[in-house]
Amino acid sequence: MSDNDDMVMVTHFNARITADGPWPAEPGRYRLVVNKACPWASRSLIVRRLMGLEDAISVGVTDPIQDERSWRFTLDPDGRDPVLGIRYLAEAYEAVRPGYDGGVSVPAIVDIASGRLVTNDHNTITIDLATQWSKYARPDAPDLYPQALRPEIDQVIEDLAEDVNLGVYKAGFATTQKAYDEAYQRLFDRLDELENRLSTQRYLVGDSITEADIRFFVTLVRFDVVYHGHFKCNRNKLTEMPVLWAYARDLFQTPGFGDTVDFDHIKEHYYRVHTDVNPSGIVAGGPDLSGWHSPHGRD
């Protein structure tokens, strides 16, 4: 596993963009940089879409394949982000800290005028988009982090982070049988618990979509595509867990979720970048993805 992989989520820049802080929420001021393969970056795309912030904060999408300088804008004409004018996201990091040679992660929010990275703190980016940009959100935007439910949401996402979001990586990149076995067991114990929880309620916390559902979805949508085989998380597929499979389809078919997913980018990144796990770089042909559009019955 390289230091530039999306598994490495060490936060070096954690400023907050708030309604009235030193980095104020202002339409047109910032550029959100993502990679559609990365689950942490996908969270920010979903929140931006659900909140209706497309006109307030623009998005730059990097190539799913990294090189020695990490995330690059080779999908854009001339290999440059059309707004920031840079070839590599690392340039925004270096604009803040000259000579910076640490990890480069997404999501990242860049101040357009200065070209400086503001934050790459994936844990707070989505919370702030959901709570600090409300002035610019669509009138019927959901409350993704309701005040009364925050303690419960925080506990759920803490459990998800350790056992599920990171759990698949702990299993996939394990270098000892013991480490793999522990991660594998914790992952499926937690999935079984959540399968049971969601058998009696539509969403993880409360009766509407919250930050917790978004954080769970980004792992579920990658599960059969890459985690089941590539990361050896293969006790069963998502499609073999009836409640979680219906729950995942319910979210996928909700505007803001499935329309921000790029299965091709996901497969290209995981199978081609993780050469220690898949030395051949061969990208798997399956699985069949048509089931994501089948009726879910959760409503």
Q: Which of 128, 117, 152, 146 is nearest to 56 (CA)?
A: 128
Q: Angle at Cα 253 formed by Cα 248 and Cα 256, nearest 5°? A: 100
pLDDT(7) > 50 = no
Q: For residues 2-22, give the mean pLDDT.
A: 71
State the average pLDDT over residues 230-238. 98
Q: Which pLDDT does position 165 carry in this prediction?
A: 98
Q: What is the pLDDT of residue 2?
A: 36
Mean pLDDT over each residue of the chain, to the nearest integer: 95
Most distant pair of Cα atoms in the chain: their distance: 53
List the 116-119 sheet strands across, edge first. Answer: 58-61, 30-34, 108-111, 116-119
147-152 contacts: CB < 8 A, separation 24 or more? 149/205, 149/206, 149/210, 152/205
Instruction: Kindly state the percentage of the chain with pLDDT values over 90.
Output: 95
* Whether residue 6 has pLDDT greater than 50: no
Average pLDDT for 81-99: 97
Q: Which amino acid is at 119?
A: T
On whether the 147-293 domain is CATH 1.20.1050.10, my answer is yes
Residue % of the chain over a pLDDT of 70: 96
pLDDT of residue 12: 80
How far, CA to CA in Å, does 89 sit from each of 48, 57, 108, 163, 262?
20, 17, 8, 29, 20
Q: What is the pLDDT of residue 173?
A: 97
CB neighbour list of residue 164: distance below 8 Å, 6 or more residues apart: 187, 190, 191, 194, 216, 219
The ranges assigned to domains in the chain are: 17-136, 147-293
How many Å from the N-terminal Cα to the C-terminal Cα in the chain?
41
**pLDDT average, residue stretch 166-195:** 98
Strand partners, 109: 32, 119
Confidence of residue 299 (pLDDT cuts 50, 70, 90): confident
CATH architecture entry for 17-136: 3-Layer(aba) Sandwich (3.40)
Which residue's structure tokens are 């840079």?
A: 86
pLDDT tens-place string over residues 119-131: 999 999 999 999 9
For residue 208, the surrounding DSSP H or E stretch is: none
Residue 9 pLDDT > 70, yes or no?
no
- Residue 234 pLDDT class (50, 70, 90 cuts): very high
Q: What is the pLDDT of residue 8?
A: 45
- Confidence (pLDDT) at 11: 61
For tokens 């394990």, the residue is 174
Count the helix, strand and coil residues of the chain and give each as a percent rounded to the nearest 5.
45, 10, 45
What are the residue numbers of the active site?
Answer: 38, 169
Distance CA 224, CA 226 (A): 6
- Minimal CA–CA distance to 107: which of 181, 27, 170, 46? 46
